[in-house]
Amino acid sequence: MYPQTREAALERWSAFLPAAVEYATHRQLVVPGHPHVSRLSPALRLRLVTEEEILASLLAAHPLASVEQLVREILWRTYWKSCLEQRPSIWRWYRARVAALRPAAGPRVASITAAESGVAIMDYFTRELIDTGWLHNHARLWFAAWWIHVERLPWELGADFFLRHLLDGDPASNTLSWRWVAGLHTPGKSYLVRRSNLEKYIDPALLAEHAAGLDALDDDRAQAAPLPDEPLFPWEPVPPAAVDPGHLPDPWGLWIHGDDLAVETHPRLTGLKPRAAAAILSRPLCESFALSERRWRHLRSGLLEGVTRIAAHFRCAADFELGPPLAAGLAAWARAHRLQTVVTMRPFAGPLADELPAVEAALRAEGVSLICLQRPYDATLLPLARGGFFPFYEKAREALRLDAGPG
């Protein structure tokens, strides 16, 4: 159901393009099969396709005015990235809280995550999440609001539950959306779940089938949970892109990872020739996040397809390693190919960026330097968020020259 190759992702997007003009009208409807939204997020998460590519094809097919809602939603992804890149301590704080809270999570967390909460529609969403690895945006909002404001459970444990199961599980979009629902992102603003809202947007037959326990969501019960105490999270500058890859010490290799599986489209790599490309799926890293089997398989097929395609593009050797710790695995690979330099796309704030110091040290011990590249899209947009989404959107719209039309 969710594309696992670049080709399938591009096909999915092309097939969705004609419906993009209807997106603003229907995108909030939760109906089985989810025909009104693209369901491209698992592919975007791995960057099997890039935000830049889908924006370009969208605006080549339609005038901005007729698809602006969809453009905005795509830029929400970049907005969350921009926020977390500039405040990575939010991510570290959240992970530390998950580690502290998880052992004492309690029976209510256990029954909700086992789809036995007694609120049938939420149990339906839980089963959909576990069985498919995906949820509609509205279902995510309702579920998170119910978890935080009705069940009064810690937002961090809910975000962790999503991150483990969502095929698009993303450190920025997921963590910061949960914080937004909780009222921690925009001071004074939280998102509440109301029965009337579910009745308006969920397919009537689906809701009728899962009506048990709905009274827990009656409108007159909606009340925001108190905000938890937190430290201040400082704003930090986005790490700059590294050297011009035109001057790479030879021989060099490409480390391919799940934050960017369309490396061959990076304009600065055109015409260059790595000796080898490698992707490593680190079992210890996946285990430390307790990723679901479904999520793990999605990542594995994405990485395998990515490294195979990218190596074919550059006509170099492809290596796919399943299991070893990232740093040790990359050091062994660099040694085997006698590399001087390893080039990669700079990972975003999250698990891979947390691994970078260890990767850098392990490569350095082999006499190998690590160079991180950044896409022009990221270099331009990641520093732009400074407050809410709409000022960011205005700046992004100008920086990307969205009003100028195709070409």
Ligand X SMILES: Cc1cc2nc3c(=O)[nH]c(=O)nc-3n(C[C@H](O)[C@H](O)[C@H](O)COP(=O)(O)OP(=O)(O)OC[C@H]3O[C@@H](n4cnc5c(N)ncnc54)[C@H](O)[C@@H]3O)c2cc1C
Among 39, 165, 266, 295, binds ligand X (CB under 6 A): 39
Query: 135 vs 363, which CB is nearer to ligand X?
Result: 135
- 215-254: which residues touch ligand X (CB under 6 A)? none
C-alpha 265/C-alpha 255 separation (Å) is 15
Beta-carbon neighbour count of residue 399 at 10 Å? 12
- Alpha-carbon distance of 82 to 87, in angstroms, equals 9
**Does 169 interact with ligand X (rule: CB under 6 A)?**
yes
**In terms of CB distance, is 126 or 174 closer to ligand X?**
174
| Nearer to ligand X (CB atom), residue 178 or residue 255 | 178
Residue 123 C-beta: closest distance to ligand X, Å:
17
| Minimum CB distance to ligand X smaller for 58 or for 207 | 58
- Identify the CA nearest to 370 among candidates 327, 405, 402: 327
Cβ neighbors of 163 (< 8 A, separation 6 or more) are 169, 171, 174, 175, 289
Q: Which stretch binds ligand X (CB under 6 A): 167-175, 238-246, 342-350, 385-393?
A: 167-175
Residue-by-residue DSSP string for 55-118: HHHHHHHS-HHHHHHHHHHHHHHHHHHHHHHH-HHHHHHHHHHHHHHGGG--HHHHHHHTT-SS
Query: Residue 166, interface with ligand X (CB under 6 A)?
Result: yes
- At closest approach, how far in Å is the CB of 253 from ligand X? 29
Alpha carbon distance 314, 277 (integer Å) = 9
- Could you tell me the smallest distance in angstroms from the CB atom of residue 174 to ligand X? 3
Residue 23 vs residues 73, 76, 256, 281: alpha-carbon distances, Å: 10, 15, 33, 36
Residues pairing with 343 in the sheet: 254, 371
| In the complex, least distance from residue 404 CB atom to ligand X, rounded to whole angstroms | 21
Residue 114 contacts residue 161 (beta carbons within 8 Å): no
Q: What are phi and psi of 375, to 5 degrees?
A: -70, 145
Q: How far is the CB of 129 from ligand X (least distance, A)?
A: 11
395 binding ligand X? (CB under 6 A): no
Choices 31-39, 221-229, 274-282, 287-295; region in contact with ligand X by CB under 6 A: 31-39
265: enclosing H helix or E strand = none
Of the candidates 10, 53, 80, 146, which one interacts with ligand X according to CB under 6 A? 80
Q: Please give the residues from 88 up to 147 whose contact with ligand X meets the rule CB under 6 A.
A: 136-137, 140-141, 144
CB of 350 to ligand X, least distance (A): 11
Q: Which residues bind ligand X (CB under 6 A)?
A: 27, 37-41, 44-45, 73-74, 76-77, 80, 136-137, 140-141, 144, 162, 166, 168-170, 173-174, 177-178, 181
